[in-house]
Amino acid sequence: MSANLFYGIRIVEPDDDYNDIIRNSAMLTESGYIIVISEIVIKAEEKMTTCAIVGVNWGDEGKGRMVDLIAMDFDVVVRYQGGNNAGHTVVNEYGKFALNLIPSGIFRKEVVNVLGCGTVINPEHLWGEIEKLHQAGISIEPENFKISDRAAIVFPFHIAQDSLEEARLADRKYGSTKRGIAPVYSDKYQKKAIHIGELAYPEEYKNHLESVLEWKNLTIEKVYGSKPFELDELMDWSMKFGEKLLPYIADSGEFLRGAYAQGKNILYEAQLGALRDIDYGIYPYTSSSNPLAAYAPLGSGAPDIPVNRVIGVVKAYSSCVGEGPFIAEWFGEEADKLREAGGEYGAATGRPRRVGPLDLPATRYGVKVQGATEIAFTKMDVLSYMEEIPVCTAYSIAGKETRDFPFHTLLPQAKPVFKTVPGWKTDISMIRRYEDLPQEARSYIEYVEGEINCPLSYISVGPGRDEIILRKA
């Protein structure tokens, strides 16, 4: 009877057995209805073409090692914000490298590496990085390295201004790395930055620099009482390093669009972490740019290319460089022990990092604002020395406990609420399969996963490329 006949569509995976589905395409249900599968729709094979690897916390989570690992699946790696104020440390068959500007994909020969328009570039520093890589036998050519013509130049006067302002602030200082990053981003929004692509037009460049310098020297001399900068010296500096970089300077947007149209996979690499984002972080103890994944398309030069996978990197404990509220912070002997075990010293500056247990309120917040679709959980091996693993589960603010990360004004009064979970007390750095991890280590991972509500799909147990456990949730 036609009243009892229903037609349905069956959606199947590409590797399902279609014959079996066709054989069972008409089903008599318990209530006597016949359902006929009238159409079989084969699910398109999912192919990720764009992915961002971002920090969920304060930075130094181990993003560089993740990019180095994952770059093999990608054709292009793009840095989309920041300058040489932070660094990635990558350990691979070429050696150990601290990269401040050049994307970590540079170690894969077939990968094209891009510095997007959201980055700020000190040409002298960048040239130094290129030379060091050249010396290690890594090829950096216009074919595998491109600098957006719209990236802003960091000048010596930005570095001077950074130091002068930190000195003026004295004990209220922001903990700047004094690489000129905050001044250059401020200038950008005052429309007083100079784009690196302008170097290709020396006459126009000189005129532009002259007018910017006239304005900048007012601040250097009249606000800080320091020595003004000379146009000729800055021109010599610009031409010396600019000429070396010119072959790499390109319209990054055009390049990325072309690559995307050809079906190339694009990986976006962030510097620092969500809590250092200028809009969403622990303002004003933030960076001057946006390390969030949502900014990746804007800062790359191709805002029209969407990001469809976001790997948030979370360290198995917390670390933080510089000033600002860091609620789960440890002090004294136990902090020293964790810092030593994790080698927590700045890649760019060598500064000892502040350390503490994993901070769940901060991590939950970071996962949310990053829009992380999965997590790479790093440095699990570092915790192997602990009898019990401490975790900051909540903050206590004015006597009230909260699991949420509060508005930044409330952070200085927040106190950590800690709990401990059992440790595993054994070396896990040789383990490559999730099921081979000690039960306590798996419990810690699954506990964190539940608390931050995002799958932990990579567990890193060492700095080396292969020291990782892939875990399909």
| Residues labelled as active-site residues | 60, 88
Confirm if 375 and 452 have CB atoms less than 8 A apart: yes
Among 51, 56, 57, 63, binds ligand GDP (CB under 6 A): 63
Nearer to ligand GDP, 318 or 460 (CB): 460
- Please count the residues of this chain forming the interface with ligand GDP, following the rule CB under 6 A: 22
Write the CB contacts of 469 (distance below 8 Å, at least 6 apart in sequence).
431, 432, 433, 434, 437, 458, 459, 460, 461
Rounded CA-CA distance 348/101 in Å is 10
Using CB under 6 A, which residues numbered 292 to 311 contact ligand GDP? none
Is 456 a binder of ligand GDP (CB under 6 A)?
A: no
Nearer to ligand GDP, 99 or 194 (CB): 99
Is 347 a binder of ligand GDP (CB under 6 A)?
A: yes
Is 322 a binder of ligand GDP (CB under 6 A)?
A: no
Q: Which stretch binds ligand GDP (CB under 6 A): 127-135, 244-252, 377-385, 392-400?
A: 377-385
Per-residue binding letters, 114-133, with ligand GDP (x by CB under 6 A): --------------------
Shortest Å, Cβ 94 to ligand GDP = 14
Is 353 a binder of ligand GDP (CB under 6 A)?
A: no
Nearer to ligand GDP, 61 or 165 (CB): 61
The total number of residues written for the chain in this structure: 473
From residue 369, alpha-carbon distances to 146, 373, 396, 434, 440 in Å are: 29, 11, 22, 28, 30
Rounded CA-CA distance 281/273 in Å is 9
Is 62 a binder of ligand GDP (CB under 6 A)?
A: yes
Is 65 a binder of ligand GDP (CB under 6 A)?
A: yes
Is 463 a binder of ligand GDP (CB under 6 A)?
A: yes
Confirm if 142 and 240 have CB atoms less than 8 A apart: no
Using DSSP bridges, classify how beta strands 34-42 and 26-28 pair: parallel, antiparallel or unpaired. Answer: antiparallel
Q: Which stretch binds ligand GDP (CB under 6 A): 174-182, 224-232, 330-338, 376-384?
A: 376-384
Position of tokens 């009249």? Answer: 222
User: Which runs of consecutive H residues, i.e. helices, occur in 9-111?
Assistant: 18-23, 63-70
Is 291 a binder of ligand GDP (CB under 6 A)?
A: no
DSSP 109-143: TT-EEEE-TTBEE-HHHHHHHHHHHHHTT----TT
The C-alpha angle with vertex 360 and arms to 352 and 175, in degrees rounded to 5, equals 30
Shortest Å, Cβ 415 to ligand GDP = 27
Nearer to ligand GDP, 70 or 234 (CB): 70
Nearer to ligand GDP, 390 or 462 (CB): 462
Using DSSP bridges, classify how beta strands 76-79 and 112-115 pair: parallel, antiparallel or unpaired. Answer: parallel
Among 50, 51, 54, 55, binds ligand GDP (CB under 6 A): 55
DSSP 416-429: EEEEEEE---S--T
- What 3-state DSSP class applies to 275? helix
Shortest Å, Cβ 467 to ligand GDP = 6
- What 3-state DSSP class applies to 31? coil
Is 282 a binder of ligand GDP (CB under 6 A)?
A: no
Is 381 a binder of ligand GDP (CB under 6 A)?
A: yes
425: phi then psi, degrees, rounded to nearest 5: 50, 40
Q: Which helix (H) or strand (E) holds 278?
A: none
Shortest Å, Cβ 378 to ligand GDP = 4
Is 462 a binder of ligand GDP (CB under 6 A)?
A: yes
Nearer to ligand GDP, 62 or 324 (CB): 62
Nearer to ligand GDP, 58 or 155 (CB): 58
Among 379, 386, 423, 469, binds ligand GDP (CB under 6 A): 379
Rounded CA-CA distance 305/302 in Å is 6
**Joined tokens for residue 2:** 């036609």
Rounded CA-CA distance 351/177 in Å is 10
Is 277 a binder of ligand GDP (CB under 6 A)?
A: no
Shortest Å, Cβ 260 to ligand GDP = 25
**Joined tokens for residue 168:** 């003026």
Using CB under 6 A, which residues numbered 80 to 109 contact ligand GDP? 87-89, 91
Site residues, ligand GDP (CB under 6 A): 55, 59-65, 87-89, 91, 343, 347, 378-379, 381-382, 460-463
